[in-house]
Amino acid sequence: MNILLKPFPMKSIQRSIILSLATCSLAFAQIGINTSTPLSTLDINAKNPTGTASEVDGILVPRVDRQRAQSMTGIPISTLIYINTIATGTQTGTAVNIDTPGYYYYNGTSWIKLNPSVNIYTSDGSLSSFRSVTTNGNSINFVNGTSTAGIISSETEGGFSANGSVRGSLSLSLGTNTVNTYADHGNAVQLNGAGTTPKFSIGTTNSTPLVLTTNNSEQLTLLSNGNVGMGTSAPGTALELTSGTANTSGLRFTSFTSATPIAAGQALGVDAAGNVVTVANPSPTNVSTFSVNSITEANFSVNDITATVVSGTSQSITIPSGGKALFINCMLGVDYISTPAGSGTAYYEARLYIDGVATDCYMRAQEVGISTNVFFSISTIKFLAAGNHTVDVRMQRTFNNGTTSGASMLCTPISMSFNASYLN
């Protein structure tokens, strides 16, 4: 049964509504106010749905203060009220959500604000679970005229993710200048700068080093003082290389090798600490020679007591700074022209002396009789320090073999070729 209520004096209307509702609640399913065809359990149409009538249409739900709402007990779920003031009561218990005037409904535990105005534009809050925003191809812009927009986390890690099926990218721009970060599918990760900016700067604003890492290992370090280290995290010079392999510098010039033509410049070397330093360029090679070639040198006497300088072999040599290799060659022909006491067939030695000191370079030969000849040949290389030196050949009898000790053998040079030279 549908009931149509028509205008009556206010008190009559109230009594009629109460009576009708009480009666219909027992037997009927739908009630219409200002309509004969209610579409729901209670269907209320405006008395004046259009036009300029000044009468008030609408529904007034119970209006109570917070203390009254807080004091209710046995409240059915979905009960609707309007809180007209929060000057009374406290925001606790069932009123824990009542913080402003407005409509509230009861959810079985507390009063819940109907269509609350709390959102990210008006209040802070916390997500109770994962949220996902689908833009359907539309862009989201955060516009702020005075400060920055940030993502802040109090947890161990704060992150920002931009993923795509082919590329994930992040772009920062100011005017025509941009910084783009790309993570391309199947291609290199890129950090690019573009625009009219005069430079692209990567670094730190404090004393923290700038480090480049590959394979989770630090490979290049730039310290705050400008020192660059490759293979070391503590470079002590402007550029320090640590190859990790003994006796290998770690520095290679692929287009500048031993086959490169020689050009004017200064030679380079390394000191004891591995620092690259300049070294003296090698001087052009000059050969300095001291020699005598003669068959008219003076006779000399040889015995077993002292070593006698062979006339013509004594040479004074000045070695320049750095020390040089001295090349010595001596060819000596001697004729024995006396018969020393004892008349034995003794042995005689020709030995090289440098600065009056005997060297290990010598030759020995046996006398086979008076007026016989003997030939000595001496060749060697010695390294001498810079300065003045004297070089000569001396003879001595090393084995008397019947000849009286101390007796002298008179010798005459029949040929002599003595050369002492060095490279400069």
CATH of the domain at 414: 2.60.120.40
For residues 288 and 420, give the distance between their C-alpha atoms in angstroms, rounded to a whole number.
8
Answer whether 334's CB lies under 8 Å from 413's CB: yes
- Indicate whether 93 belongs to any domain: yes
- Indicate whether 369 belongs to any domain: yes
CA 361 to chain centre: 60
Q: Sign of torsion, CA 400 403 406 412?
A: negative
Across-strand partners of 221?
Answer: 211, 229
Residues 311 and 402 in one domain: yes
The residue segments making up the domain with residue 406 are 287-423
Region of poorest pLDDT, from 57-66, 93-102, 194-203, 349-358: 194-203
Residues 357 and 419 in one domain: yes
Phi, psi (deg, nearest 5) at residue 371:
60, 35
- Indicate whether 341 belongs to any domain: yes
Residues 17 and 99 in one domain: no
- Indicate whether 67 belongs to any domain: yes
- Indicate whether 386 belongs to any domain: yes
> At residue 4, does pLDDT exceed 60?
no
- Indicate whether 266 belongs to any domain: no
Residues 28 and 98 in one domain: no
Of all residues in the chain, the percent with pLDDT exceeding 70 is 87
Residues 312 and 370 in one domain: yes
Across-strand partners of 315?
Answer: 391
Residues 15 and 108 in one domain: no
Tokens 């990760």: give the residue: 189
For residues 318 and 55, give the distance between their C-alpha atoms in angstroms, rounded to a whole number.
133
Structure confidence by residue, pLDDT tens digits, 259-317: 888 888 888 889 988 898 898 877 666 677 777 787 778 899 999 999 999 988 888 88
More confident position, 229 or 320: 229
Average pLDDT, the chain: 84
- Indicate whether 35 belongs to any domain: yes
How many domains does one find in the chain? 3
